[in-house]
Amino acid sequence: MPGDEGTGSPSAPPRPLHDMGILVTGGGSGIGLAVSRRLLADGAAVTIAGRSAQRLEDARQILIDAGADPGSIRAHAADMSCEDAGGRAVEAASELRGGLHAAVACAGEPRGQMAPVTQLDLDSWRRVFDNNVVATMLTLKYAAREMVRAGGGSFVAISSISSTMAARFTSPISSAKAAIDQLCRIAASELGPSDVRVNVVRPGLVRVDRQELPEGVDRDFRSAVVLRRLGRPDDIADVVSFLVGPRAAWITGQVISVDGGQTVNRPFDASAWVEPVYGPDGMRGVV
């Protein structure tokens, strides 16, 4: 047969990430789990990090059951908003394939408090920033060090279209995601001379297993999305895999919305979440 060389079947072409060791924070569920699955399928060795050791082990088994080589997937429990833990997670990921070639920062609190600005809770606000901005910054800080030493690499942060759309009552998470966008744009400028690329993926609303939406919110989201469906974790994972790999070698400093077209339409309406808690007067700032 054409392509046969003596005995045996033709060799499969190398997968695009076959020589890469990659850290995925928040890899135990949702978008992070889907990203890990795709990176493994594309040939990478992946270290998944997150707070819950049990969730990570469950995710590791899911990935192995889906066909991943057990030797190519490692779980490392770490709170990525804590400096020492973040540094250790990067160190562990660097051991899996002789260095760290890419990192994907998926860890973060998905929504946080939804409230009028006159009734924001400071502890909740700080928690959202710790779990999103601080966790991303520390992952970038330590992963970039490893990639600079190695002569290059790729960092991808998961942000949100909320960073650019002024949806009422979402100021904690929207402000945090906007900070991630700017952090990564600045880092791309700083790290370019060391051949470390830094990009951001901004998902729209992605349906994940643990997420429940009030009926009114679900309906409003669908009407706001041009393609008339909520996102799937694999929609995000496909773009992330492209960005960390060699096909995106001349892309850095970009913030890419993957949202079914919602950013050309309008933000969603969170009233179905907020009105039952704060009432009509509270929604306009009355305390």
Q: What is the pLDDT of residues 150-189, one digit of tens each?
A: 999 999 999 999 999 999 999 999 999 999 999 999 999 9
Please name which of 123, 50, 46, 119 lies closest in space to residue 81, comparing C-alpha atoms.
Answer: 50
Pair of tokens at residue 14: 């190398």
Q: What's the order of all strands across the beta sheet hosting 196-203?
A: 73-77, 45-50, 21-25, 102-105, 153-158, 196-203, 255-258
- 3-class DSSP state for residue 1? coil
Number of domains in the chain: 1
Look-up of token digits 């088994």: 61
25 burial (CB, 10 Å; 0-12 / 13-18 / 19+) is: buried
Which residue numbers in the chain have pLDDT < 70?
A: 1-13, 110, 209-212
Q: What is the pLDDT of residue 277?
A: 95
Pair of tokens at residue 78: 């770490």
* Structural domain containing residue 204: 21-209+232-261
Please name which of 107, 35, 110 lies closest in space to residue 73, comparing C-alpha atoms.
Answer: 35
Position 2 in a domain: no
Q: What is the CATH number of the domain that holds 84?
A: 3.40.50.720
Position 268 in a domain: no
Q: What is the pLDDT of residue 44?
A: 97
Position 217 in a domain: no
**Is there a contact between 160 and 203 (Cβ–Cβ < 8 Å)?**
yes
Position 266 in a domain: no
Q: What is the pLDDT of residue 98?
A: 86
